Structure 1
Amino acid sequence: MKILFLSVISLCVISLAGCNQKQVEQPRRPNILFAISDDQTFVHTSFAGSEFVNTPAFDRIAREGIYFTNCIAGSPGCAPSRSAIVTGRYHWQNEQSGQHASSWMKKYVPFVDLLDANGYVTGRTGKGVSPFQYARDKNDSLWRATDAAGIAHSNIRYEKGAAGDERTADEIGPVNYFENFKYFMENVRDDKPFFFWYGAYEPHRAYEQDSWKRTEKSTADVKVPGFFPDDEIIRGDMLDYAVEIEWFDLHLQRMLEYLEKTGEIDNTIVIVTADNGMPFPRAKANCYEYGIHVPFAVSYPKAFPGGRVVDDVVSFSDLAPTILEITGTNAEGMLPVSGKSILHILKSKKQGVVDPSKKYVFSGRERHSSSRYLNWGYPQRAIRSQEYLLVWNIKPERWPAGAPQRIKPKSGGELFPMYGIDENGVHHSEWAFTDIDAAPTKSFIIENWENEDIRPFFNWAHSRRAEFELFNVKEDPYNLTNLAGVSGYETIEEELKQALMAELRKSKDPRVVEPDKEIFDSYIRYSPMREFPNPAE
Structure 2
Amino acid sequence: MLKSNRLIALGLLAAAILCSLAKPLAKAPNVLFAISDDQSYPHASAYGCRGIETPGFDRVAREGVLFHTAISGSPGCSPSRASLLTGRYHWMIEHAGTHASKFDKKYATFPNLLEQAGYWVGYTGKGWGPGRYREGGFTRNPAGPVFSSKKKSSGIKGISSTDYAGNFEAFLEQRPEGKPFCFWLGGHEPHRVFEKGIGLKKGKKLDDIDVPAFLPDTPEVRGDILDYYVEIEWFDSHLARALAKLEKMGELENTLVIVTSDNGMAFPRAKANCYEFGVHVPLAIMWLGRVKGNRASTDPVAFVDLTATILEAAGVKHPSLGQAALAPSGRSLVPLLASGKSGRIEPTRTHVYSGRERHSSSRYNNWTYPQRCLRSDQYLYIRNFRPDRWPAGDPQKFNSPGKLGPMHGGYHDIDACPTLTFLIENRNDPSHKPFFHLSVNKRPGEELFDIKKDPDCLNNLALDPVFLKVTQKYRDEMDAFLKKTGDPRANGNGDLWESYKRYSRMRSFPRP
TM-score for the superposition, normalised by structure 2: 0.95
Does the residue aligned with 1:443 lie in a helix, a strand or coil?
helix
Gaps of 5+ in 2: none
Pairwise CA distance, 1:17: 3.6
Residue 427 of structure 2: aligned partner = 449
Mapped contact 2:121–2:181 kept (Cα < 8 A)? yes
- The equivalent residue for 2:246 is 259
Give, in angstroms, the shift of residue 487 of structure 1: 2.1
User: Is 1:32–2:31 an aligned residue pair?
Assistant: yes
Q: Shift of the alpha carbon at 1:213?
A: 2.6
CA deviations on 1:193-232 (whole Å, 9 max, x unpaired) are 1110000000000111111233121111011110111111
* Residue 173 (structure 1) aligned to one of 141, 144, 160: 160
What displacement does 1:21 show? 7.0
CA distance in 1, matches of 2:320, 2:466: 48
The 3 A distance-change label for structure 1 pair 27 and 393 is: same
Query: In 1, distance between residues paired with 2:329 and 2:397?
Result: 38
Q: CA deviation at 1:24?
A: 6.6
1:490 matched to 2:468: yes
Instruction: Give the aligned partner of residue 88 of structure 2.
Output: 89
Per-residue CA distance 1:342-375 (angstroms, 9 max, x = gap): 2111111221111111211000000000000000
Q: Distance in 1 between matches of 2:101 and 2:415?
A: 19
Q: What fraction of aligned residue pairs are identical, expressed as a percent? A: 46
State whether residues 124 and 185 of structure 2, in contact with CA within 8 Å, keep that contact through their aligned partners in structure 1.
yes
After the TM superposition, which residues 273-312 of structure 1 pair with which residues of structure 2 at under 5 Å, given as runs? 273-312=260-299
Tell me the SS of whatever aligns to 1:381.
strand
Shift of 1:106: 1.5
> How far has the Cα of 1:143 moved from its partner?
2.4
Identify the residue that residue 425 of structure 1 maps to in structure 2: none
Following superposition of structure 1 onto structure 2, how do residues 318-357 of structure 1 map, counting pairs within 5 Å?
318-333=305-320, 335-357=326-348
Whether the 8 Å contact between 1:168 and 1:211 is mirrored in structure 2 is no
Q: Decide which of 405, 414, 432 is 1:416's aligned counterpart.
A: 405
Residue 190 of structure 1 deviates from its aligned partner by: 3.2
Query: Using the alignment, how far apart are the partners of 1:13 and 1:83 within structure 2?
Result: 51
What is the CA–CA distance in structure 2 between the aligned matches of 1:340 and 1:16, rounded to whole Å?
39
Task: Report deviation, 1:132.
Answer: 1.7
Alpha-carbon distance between aligned partners in 1 of 2:176 and 2:12, rounded to the nearest angstrom: 37
Name the residue aligned to 1:428: none
Aligned to 1:519: 496
Give matches, 1:335-414, under 5 Å. 335-409=326-400, 411=401, 413-414=402-403
1:148 aligns with 2:142: yes
User: Structure 1 residues 11-20 or 382-391, which shifts more?
Assistant: 11-20
* Secondary structure at 2:408 match in 1: helix
In 2, Cα distance between equivalents of 1:350 and 1:24: 27
Aligned residues: 504
> How big is the shift at 1:533?
0.5
Query: Which residue of structure 2 aligns with residue 182 of structure 1?
Result: 169
CA–CA separation in structure 1 for the residues paired with 2:314 and 2:108: 17
1:274-318 CA-partner distances (Å, limit 9, x unpaired): 000000000000000000000001001221122111111010011
Match of 2:194 in 1: 207
In structure 1, C-alpha distance between the alignment counterparts of 2:201 and 2:365, rounded to whole Å? 43
The CA distance in 2 between the partners of 1:393 and 1:16, in whole Å, is 65
Q: Is the Cα contact below 8 Å between 1:168 and 1:243 reproduced in 2?
A: no
TM, length-normalised to structure 1: 0.91
Q: Contact 2:67/2:299 (CA < 8 Å) preserved in 1? A: yes
Specify the alignment match of 2:79 in structure 1: 80
In the aligned structure 2, how far is the partner of 1:292 from the partner of 1:12? Answer: 61
Q: 2:255–2:288: 8 Å Cα contact kept in structure 1?
A: no
Cα distance in structure 1, aligned partners of 2:314 and 2:394: 46
Q: Per the alignment, in what secondary structure is the counterpart of residue 151 of structure 2?
A: coil
CA distance in 1, matches of 2:27, 2:21: 13
Q: Any gaps of 5 or more consecutive residues in structure 1? A: 159-164, 421-431
Task: Determine helix, strand or coil for the equivalent of 2:298.
Answer: strand
